[in-house]
Amino acid sequence: MKMLGAGRVTPLPVVFPLLLSLAAFVLAMIALFAGTGSRQQELEEYHIVAINMSGFGKDLLPTETSEEAAPEPTRDGFLGFIDDVGDKADDLKDEITDKVGDALDNAADKLADALGISQWYSFHIMNVCEGDFAPNATEVGAWYNTTNCTAREPGVKFNLTEVINHEIDMGPLNFNTANVELPDAVRQAVDLLNSALFAIFIFYVLGSAFSGLAFLLSIATLALAYRQPGNHRTTVLLNALNAFLGTLTLMIGSAITTAVARKGAAKINDMGDGVGISAIVGRKLITISWVAFGLMCATFLFWTLTCCFPRRDQWDQGRAYAEKPARPSTSSDRGLLRDLFARNR
């Protein structure tokens, strides 16, 4: 405890906030830049929300409509023969339609390909990506194969309906995109994400900046402690203030991201299941965001203890001084005064 408290700075303890702030800075930067740059594929799973569209469009593809045939009078001769041939042709057509419908049902992961749309769309802090599941959408442990991402920009706005309609127009099937509508809950969830992306961006930028500055201040404090060990209360206060701001911004950014991701995914999953749309919360992004917050919180606590709490040796010295008994006076004047008082009596 002699190394901490009362603004005293020694080199060894400063290594701890230095490493903590460096780790927080790296995690905050991963969260901020995931989905952008040359590492789009590796960091794709660090999204806020991913919308699974692999089953969308099942109701748009042609399926069998079965109707109970009305009884018809039997015919004999040549007309009866013609009717039998027609019935067999209808039966063959129905059988082919059934097989096509079964094939479509068993290949749900190929519906998006048939429509010309991507199987998933993911929201990151600074952009939106799309792609397909590999090896396929129904495979256990399928991974995100990124095919395209929007340009990097703060507060990106993504119109999912417009993108899907454009991709269907460019796809192999001739669909009237006026008939292709996303559920209101899905559009509302996308609007919620769009409205929150800029605020999330601001807090992650601030959190990254404060954590990076905390790392640099720790290096400066470490160098100062080597050159001039002792009390540096002003430096410690500056470190504590910066760490507090980093903790606060990362906490707010992580809280907004968590709330928006869960609320948006819940909306999509509640109403999108009927049309083959689901949402996946970006748990990896949320996890590293809260870990970065925890690291900066630990950094703030370290500098607070260093600044504001007395060292144990100082506390013990103060307590010993307060409990020290009064010593009898050894002044020779006390004897002279005693004789003077006795003589006056």
Q: Is residue 230 part of a domain?
A: yes
Say if residue 2 is exposed, middle or buried (CB neighbours under 10 Å; 0-12, 13-18, 19+).
exposed
The enclosing domain of 190 has a CATH number of: 1.20.140.150
Instruction: Give pLDDT tens digits for 187-228.
Output: 888 999 999 999 999 999 999 999 999 999 999 999 888 887
170 vs 167, 175, 176, CA distance in Å?
5, 10, 12
Identify whether the C-beta of residue 157 lies closer than 8 Å to the C-beta of residue 194.
Answer: yes
Handedness of CA 247, 21, 7, 234 (dihedral sign): negative
Is residue 65 scored above 50 in pLDDT? no
Number of domains present in the structure of the chain? 1
Q: Tokens 């290949």: give the residue.
A: 107
d(CA 220, CA 289): 26
Q: Read off the pLDDT of each residue in 4-17 and give the average, rounded to a whole number.
A: 74
d(CA 127, CA 198): 11
Cα torsion at 233, 238, 244, 250 (round to 10°)?
-150
Q: Is residue 98 part of a domain?
A: no
Identify whether the C-beta of residue 267 lies closer than 8 Å to the C-beta of residue 188.
Answer: yes
Report the chain's mean pLDDT, rounded to a whole number. 77
Q: Is residue 83 part of a domain?
A: no
Instruction: Give pLDDT tens digits for 222-279.
Output: 988 888 776 778 889 999 999 999 999 999 999 999 999 999 999 999 877 777 888 9
Instruction: Give pLDDT tens digits for 102-157.
Output: 544 445 556 666 666 788 999 999 999 999 888 777 777 788 888 899 989 998 88
- Enclosing domain of residue 308: 8-59+110-316
Q: Mind giving me the DSSP string for 24-40?
A: HHHHHHHHHHTTSGGGT
Say if residue 170 is exposed, middle or buried (CB neighbours under 10 Å; 0-12, 13-18, 19+).
exposed
Q: Is residue 335 part of a domain?
A: no
Chain-centre distance for alpha carbon 21: 19
Query: What percentage of the chain carries pLDDT values higher than 70?
Result: 66
For residue 61, what is the DSSP state? S
Q: What pTM does this model have?
A: 0.73
Q: Is residue 23 part of a domain?
A: yes
Is residue 344 scored above 50 in pLDDT? yes
pLDDT of residue 12: 82
Place 159 in a pLDDT band, splitting at 50, 70 and 90.
confident
Phi then psi dihedrals of residue 276, to 5 deg:
80, 25
Is residue 74 scored above 90 in pLDDT? no
Phi then psi dihedrals of residue 153, to 5 deg:
-160, 150
Q: Is residue 280 part of a domain?
A: yes
Q: Is residue 20 part of a domain?
A: yes
Q: Is residue 84 part of a domain?
A: no
